[in-house]
Structure 1
Amino acid sequence: MTPPTMTVSQTAAQTGGRPSVSVVVVSRGRAEDLARCLSGLSRLYYDAYEIVVVTDPEGEAAVAAAGLADMVTLVGFDQPNISAARNLGIAASAGEVVAFIDDDAVPEPTWLCHLVGPFAGSGVAVTGGYVRGRNGISYQWRARVIDPQGKAHPISVEGEAPQIITPPPGHVVKTEGTNMAVRRDWLQRLGGFDEAFHFYQDETDLNLRLAAAGGQVALVPLAEVHHAYAPSPRRKQNRAVTDLFDVGASSMVFLRKHDPDGDHERALTELRQEQWDRLQRQVRQKLISRSDLADVLETLEAGIAAGATRAVDQQAEALEPRGTFRAFESKANGDHLVLSGWIWRRRTLWAEAEAAAARGTTVSLYLFSPTSRFHRLGYHLPGIWLQRGGLFGRSVRNQRLVRLIRFQNRVAEEAQRVGERREVN
Structure 2
Amino acid sequence: MNDTMSTSHSGPTLSVVVCAYTMDRWDDLRVAIASVLTQNRPPDEVVLVVDHCPDLYERASKAMPAVRVVPSRGPRGLSGARNTGVAVSHGDVIAFLDDDAAAEPEWTDRLLAHYDAPAVVGVGGLVRPRWSTARPVWFPAEFDWVVGCSYRGLPDRTAPVRNFIGANMSFRRTELLAVGGFLDSLGRVSTRPTAGCEETDLCLRITARRPDAVLLYEPAAAVRHRVPEARTRWSYFRSRCYGEGLSKALVARYDGSGPALASERAYLRSTIPRALARNLRRTGRPGAVRTLGALAAGVCATGTGYLVGWLRAPRAKGLSSRPRVPVESSAGGSP
TM bucket (normalised to shorter chain) is 0.5 to 0.7
In the TM superposition, residue 197 of structure 1 has moved relative to its aligned partner by 1.0
Q: In the aligned structure 2, how far is the partner of 1:298 from the partner of 1:220?
A: 32
Q: TM-score, normalised on structure 2?
A: 0.64
User: Aligned match of 2:34 in 39, 64, 87?
Assistant: 39
Q: RMSD value over aligned CA atoms? A: 4.2
Answering whether residue 224 of structure 2 is matched by residue 226 of structure 1, we say yes
Give runs of aligned pairs for residues 178-257 of structure 1, distance below 5 A.
178-198=167-187, 199-212=195-208, 213=210, 214-230=212-228, 236=230, 238-242=232-236, 243-244=239-240, 246-257=243-254
Which residue identity lines up with residue 24 of structure 1 in the other structure?
V
**Residue 28 in structure 1 maps to residue 26 in structure 2:** no
Q: Is the 8 A contact 2:47 2:67 kept in 1?
A: no
Whether the aligned pair in 1 keeps the contact of 2:110 and 2:218 (CA below 8 Å) is: yes
| Uncovered stretches (5+) of structure 1, i.e. residues with no partner | 1-15, 145-151, 166-171, 275-280, 286-296, 326-425
Deviation by residue 1:320-352 (Cα, 9 ceiling, x = unmatched): 124269xxxxxxxxxxxxxxxxxxxxxxxxxxx
For the Cα contact (< 8 Å) 1:196–1:253, is it kept in 2?
A: no
Equivalent runs, 1:329-348 vs 2, <5 Å = none
Q: Indicate if the aligned counterparts of 2:247 and 2:306 stay in contact, CA closer than 8 A.
A: no
CA distance in 2, matches of 1:140, 1:78: 35
SS in 1 for 2:113: helix
Letter in 2 for 1:316: V
Kept in 1: contact 2:248–2:306 (CA 8 A): no
Name 1:54's counterpart in structure 2. Answer: 49
Q: What is the CA–CA distance in structure 1 between the aligned matches of 2:323 and 2:214, rounded to whole Å?
A: 24
Report the AA paired with residue 244 of structure 2.
Answer: V
Residues 250-329 of structure 1 aligned to structure 2 (within 5 Å): 250-259=247-256, 307-308=313-314, 309-312=316-319, 313-323=322-332
CA contact (8 A) 1:105 1:178 kept: yes
Structure 2 CA distance, aligned partners of 1:192 and 1:259?
19
Q: Which of structures 1 and 2 has the bigger CA Rg? A: 1
Residue 165 of structure 2 aligns with which residue? 176
Indicate the structure with greater strand content. Answer: 1
Partners of 2:43 and 2:119 in 1: how far apart?
21
Residue from 121, 124, 130 that aligns with 1:128: 124
Relative to 1, partners in 2 of residues 1:248 and 1:61: Cα closer, same or farther, differing over 3 Å? farther
Q: Which amino acid aligns with 2:67?
A: M
TM-score by length of 1: 0.52
Aligned-partner Cα distance in 1 for 2:185–2:325:
11
Distance 2:80 2:66 in 1: 24
Deviation at 1:314?
Answer: 2.8
Q: How far apart are the structure 2 equivalents of 1:140 and 1:107?
A: 21
SS in 1 for 2:108: helix
Partners of 2:199 and 2:125 in 1: CA distance: 14
After the TM superposition, which residues 344-423 of structure 1 pair with which residues of structure 2 at under 5 Å, given as runs? none
Number of residue pairs matched by the alignment: 264
Q: Is the 8 A contact 1:248 1:304 kept in 2?
A: no
**1: CA distance between counterparts of 2:307 and 2:58?**
36
**Aligned sequence identity (%):** 25
Cα 1:246–1:48, aligned 2, differ >3 Å: closer, same or farther? same
2:102 maps to 1:89: no
- Select the structure that is richer in helix: 2
Partner residue of 2:115 out of 101, 115, 119: 119
Match of 1:109 in 2: 105
1:31–1:59 contact (8 Å) kept in structure 2: no
Aligned counterparts of 1:176 and 1:127: Cα–Cα separation in 2: 11
Amino acid paired to 1:182: F
The answer as to whether partners of 2:130 and 2:224 remain within 8 angstroms in 1 is: yes
SS of equivalent residue, structure 1 residue 193: coil
The one-letter code of the counterpart of 1:105 is: A
* Pairwise CA distance, 1:311: 2.9
- Where 1:130 maps in the other structure, the secondary structure is strand
**How many Å apart are 1:90 and its aligned residue?**
0.5
Q: Which runs of 5+ in 2 are unaligned?
A: 1-8, 146-150, 188-194, 273-286, 292-302
Does the 8 Å contact 1:73/1:92 carry over to 2?
Answer: no
Matched residues in 1 for 2:182 and 2:72: separation? 18
Cα distance between partner residues in 2 of 1:128 and 1:261? 22
Aligned partner of residue 118 in structure 1, secondary structure: coil
Q: Distance in 2 between matches of 1:240 and 1:77?
A: 35
Stretch of structure 1 that moved more, 310-319 or 188-197: 310-319
Change (3 A) 1:303 1:259: closer
The answer to whether the Cα contact below 8 Å between 1:34 and 1:59 also exists between their aligned partners in 2 is no
Counterpart in the other structure of 1:17: 10
User: Does structure 2 conserve the Cα–Cα contact (< 8 Å) formed by 1:28 and 1:78?
Assistant: no
Q: Structure 2: how far apart are the matches of 1:106 and 1:301?
A: 36
Hey, what's the Cα distance between the residues in 1 that align with 2:19 and 2:332?
A: 19
Q: Is the 8 A contact 1:125 1:216 kept in 2?
A: yes
Deviation of 1:303 (Å): 6.2
Do the aligned residues in 1 keep the contact of 2:131 with 2:227 (CA within 8 Å)?
A: no
SS in 2 for 1:23: strand
**Structure 1 residue 206, shift from structure 2 partner:** 1.5
**Is the 8 Å Cα contact of residues 252 and 307 (structure 1) preserved in structure 2?**
yes
